[in-house]
Amino acid sequence: LLGEDILGSGFAFDIELRRGAGAYICGEETALFESIEGKRGEPRNKPPFPVEVGLFGSPTAINNVETLANIPLILELGGESYARIGTAGSTGPKLFCLSGHVARPGVYEVEFGATLRDLIELAGGVPDDRAIKAILLGGAAGVFVGPDQLDLPLTFEATRAAGATLGSGVIMVFDETADLVETLRRIAQFFRDESCGQCVPCRVGSVRQEELLARLAAGSPVRSREEELVLLREIGQAMRDASICGLGQTASSAIESALRQPGLVAL
């Protein structure tokens, strides 16, 4: 029901669609506002938060499509019944995007609390029964976990306790044939390219992080390997502490998590 004076109620409501141009940073809510307002897609400093000062300076509720898609289900079932889906801390159904070394990559809907193993089985398992080397949870800004975490329940609380994250719902499986060095370099290149460049820690840090990984991968560090790894961690720390938005704050997350796991990455 859209338009002016809906059903003679005096209430007006309408929908306007704006098509984005694909910039990753415009998934950040305030960069999205800037983009819709016709400016460069750069995140704003917070506070003020969107509920106080959002789109065109007005209080704004901003949700992603997956959240809004749950509303009909909540209305249909009632809040209490809906809350019984999933776990106490993570209610409802959840979409996960399976990719990498699985037989049937795609988007799968399960209840919160399904395990990593459940999801990988839903996607047909690893081709040729090869062993799993690592799983990237949450996408490029996520965390690598090892095959010892296959029984990890996919909930906010369980992943947080395991030092991981659900992030965007991405589950990328890497089997024993995967070259994780190239994957880490690709992730670093991605953040270097997608940084909006507004703040120094992310703009410079994401470049330095990528350069450093390239040096290590090429076996040509400019100082000892150990010193290079310390520098890499310091760059990550600076980006986490001083970047304006989540892109810079998480740009080192997957890389650091992979390097924390003994023997996972041959750098």
Task: Write out the residues near ligand SF4 by the rule CB under 6 A.
Answer: 25, 42-43, 195-199, 202-203, 243-245, 247-248
Q: How far is the CB of 43 from ligand SF4 (least distance, A)?
A: 4
Closest-CA residue to 143 (of 45, 236, 28)? 236
Q: In what helix (H) or strand (E) does residue 175 lie, and over which residues does it extend?
A: strand 170-175
Q: How far is the CB of 180 from ligand SF4 (least distance, A)?
A: 24
Q: How far is the CB of 191 from ligand SF4 (least distance, A)?
A: 8
CB of 26 or CB of 143, closer to ligand SF4? 26
246 token code pair: 């989540």
Q: How far is the CB of 33 from ligand SF4 (least distance, A)?
A: 13
Sheet holding 170-175, edge to edge: 106-111, 93-100, 170-175, 132-137, 143-145
CB of 54 or CB of 113, closer to ligand SF4? 54
Torsion, Cα of 226, 203, 196, 241 (10° steps):
70
CB of 25 or CB of 216, closer to ligand SF4? 25
Q: How far is the CB of 81 from ligand SF4 (least distance, A)?
A: 39
CB of 117 or CB of 203, closer to ligand SF4? 203
């919160």: which residue's tokens? 112
Are 209 and 251 in contact by the 8 Å Cβ rule? The answer is yes
CB of 125 or CB of 246, closer to ligand SF4? 246
Contacts of 105 (CB under 8 A, 6+ apart): 98, 99, 123
CB-closest chain residue to ligand SF4: 248
CB of 25 or CB of 114, closer to ligand SF4? 25
Q: How far is the CB of 212 from ligand SF4 (least distance, A)?
A: 18
Q: How far is the CB of 251 from ligand SF4 (least distance, A)?
A: 7
Paired residues of 107 in beta bridges: 97
Distance CA 158, CA 119 (A): 16
Cα distances from 205 to residues 25, 68, 234, 235, in angstroms, run 16, 35, 10, 6
CB of 126 or CB of 196, closer to ligand SF4? 196
